[in-house]
Amino acid sequence: MDGYYTIVIDAGHGGPDPGAIYGTRMEKDDNLKLALAVQKILQEQGQQVVMTRDTDIFIPLSERSAISNHNNADLFISIHRNSNQDPAASGIENYVHITASETDVLYAQKVIREVVNAGIQNNRGVIRANFAVLRYTLAPAMLLEMGFITNERDNQLFDQNFYAYAAAIARGIMNSLEGPSYLPPPYFFYTVENGDNMWEIAQRTGMAEDEIMSLNDLTSDSVTVRQVLQLQRS
């Protein structure tokens, strides 16, 4: 380790706001449990960790960002579980702000890559969004969706790989803070636009579709608007 960093971990929802619900399972509980596990690992490595909440309480979105800004955080990560009316929807995704810098995107990619290596059902990639905690946080910020609470297999993996996930998130955070914060040429990031598909992106860059999927640790060739892909210039 080069030194210690200030890392803010935000367990999404809390108190009267349960987040997504599936049977008796509530997102706020999964978020807090995982956030506390990541905190423990990082603190054992000598890092300064600030929690937006460490109990089942409600914290307004603006206050979550304010906590990070007040502590001059080096990195902010908000931990969530996803949900969908379609029980087949599955996988993890990591959000950055719509105006996020290359460094922010690279950090998000490093974290999601470690989680992928810990064992997941589907990697939905890094996606740009305008969530409040991303919009108002000054530090490099990400919102990590750790699988769909409405998907049985994602829940099984969350429980089965819980400690591996916590370690993976902590490792991704430290890889971000202690590694290069830029993409060496000829690599660059591309944000998917309306009408894009994997085949067209591959044609424009001279890469094969499976090369793009491998470079981004993707488990599907489908792409979504505002998804960020790491590509290689031909």
Q: How crowded is the C-beta side of 54, counted as CA atoms within 13 Å?
A: 9
- The mean predicted confidence, pLDDT, of the chain is 96
pTM for the model stands at 0.96
CA dist 163 and 37 (Å) reads 7
**Regarding the domain delimited by 187-232, which CATH topology (the fold level of the hierarchy) does it fall under?**
Membrane-bound Lytic Murein Transglycosylase D; Chain A (3.10.350)
**What's the confidence (pLDDT) of residue 2?**
53
Write down the domain spans for the chain.
6-178, 187-232
Q: Which residues are catalytic?
A: 145
Q: Which of 12, 152, 14 is nearest to 88 (CA)?
A: 152
Looking at the DSSP bridge assignments, the partners of residue 165 are none
Using one digit for the tens of pLDDT, what is the confidence trace for 48-61?
A: 999 999 999 999 99
Q: Kindly give the confidence (pLDDT) of every residue in the chain, 234 residues in length, as a single tens digit, with 9 standing for 90 and above.
A: 456 999 999 999 999 999 999 999 999 999 999 999 999 999 999 999 999 999 999 999 999 999 999 999 999 999 999 999 999 999 999 999 999 999 999 999 999 999 999 999 999 999 999 999 999 999 999 999 999 999 999 999 999 999 999 999 999 999 999 999 999 999 999 999 999 999 999 999 999 999 999 999 999 999 999 999 999 987
Question: Which CATH superfamily hosts domain 6-178?
Answer: Zn-dependent exopeptidases (3.40.630.40)
**What's the confidence (pLDDT) of residue 1?**
43
**What's the confidence (pLDDT) of residue 3?**
65
Q: Where are the alpha helices (DSSP H) in 45-95?
A: 61-70
